[in-house]
Amino acid sequence: MLSKFFSNLFGVKAEETKGTEERKVTGVTTKTFNDNFQKNTAKKVATENGIEYISKATGKKLHSNEKYVNQVYAVKGNYILLHPANDGMPTCPIEWYGKFDGENKMIMDNQSSFKCITNLSDIILQMVRLYAKYIDDDMFIASAGFAIRLDDEVCPDYTGKASFVLTDDAIRNNKVKPDQVIEAKKYFLNDFLDHFIGWNFGVAVKSNPQLERELLEFNNLVISKGLREDAGPGFEVWCSEDVQHYDLKKA
């Protein structure tokens, strides 16, 4: 399983994410080597593709007595890490807050697969196209670093448009050794297809024929290049009316 490979690749065990906002395919520590592909950064990729960049979108925690919900502030009031309900770890639900009339009020949570973002399927299509563009390059794109900027007036129970944003965690080139290129490529591609999209965004995919078509084409492309593998099972993977699974073929 690729999840097992990830531990071997980076020399660490996958961390539990209870009480945290970040999807923990991030906690890696490896020596950086002087290889050209390792110089690629999220900022550079964002600039090349006309995507907004922000270094970090992990919000500051609220001081609350809530033990089973991870409550955080939206970064700068309108940036949110696109951390889906299912991340494969025993993770608490996440709620993003802002200050409104001096009070903390919830902007959105992640338990409804971000259906409040009216152009969510277009944002996911951007993600698919980004992966497809670099399929033949030594580019290691991690969905755990994807974020959004809320484009309409931010308010409690937000409904409106958003823009796709890359954070530093979205490009992991500096974490991959030259002899790990193929397996790292497989890991990040299949994590995106199976865990990020497959466990969470079935509703968004099925709502947009163009997205569904390009997603299936991309999945077939990954298969044709011998990079498609089962990303592995996770803990506490669930579905609801909004959180619908979307199964993609493995080979």
- State the residue for tokens 């970090």: 56
Specify which of 98-102, 229-233, 236-240 reaches the highest per-range mean pLDDT: 98-102
Judge whether 134 lies within some domain.
Answer: yes
The total of structural domains in the chain comes to 1
Contacts made by residues 215-219, CB under 8 angstroms, sequence distance 24+: 215/128, 215/248, 216/248, 218/128, 218/131, 218/132, 219/193, 219/248, 219/249
pLDDT for residue 66 is more than 90:
no
Indicate whether 191 belongs to any domain. Answer: no
- What is the C-alpha to C-alpha distance for residues 154 and 161, in angstroms, rounded to an integer? 10
Cβ-contact 124, 246 below 8 angstroms: no
The reply to whether 96 falls in a domain is: yes
pLDDT of residue 2: 52
Crossing angle, helix 42-49 and helix 120-133, to 10 degrees? Answer: 110
Helices (H) and strands (E) in the chain, counts: 6, 7
State which residues form the domain around 136: 15-176
**Interval 124-141: pLDDT, tens:** 999 999 999 999 999 999
Tens digits of per-residue pLDDT, 171-192? 999 999 999 999 999 999 999 9
Residue 17 has pLDDT above 90, yes or no: no
Does some domain include residue 69?
yes
Q: What percent of the chain has pLDDT over 70?
A: 86
Per the model's pLDDT, the better-predicted residue between 51 and 66 turns out to be: 51
CA 241 distance to own-chain centroid: 21
pLDDT in tens, 74-127: 999 999 999 999 988 878 899 999 999 999 999 999 999 999 999 999 999 999
pTM assigned to the model: 0.88
Dihedrals phi, psi of 233, to nearest 5 degrees = -75, 165
213, 196, 161, 158: which is closest to 25 by C-alpha? 196
pLDDT at residue 27 is higher than 80: no
pLDDT at residue 20 is higher than 50: no
Domain assignment present for 42: yes
In a domain, 227, yes or no: no
**Is 34 part of any domain?**
yes
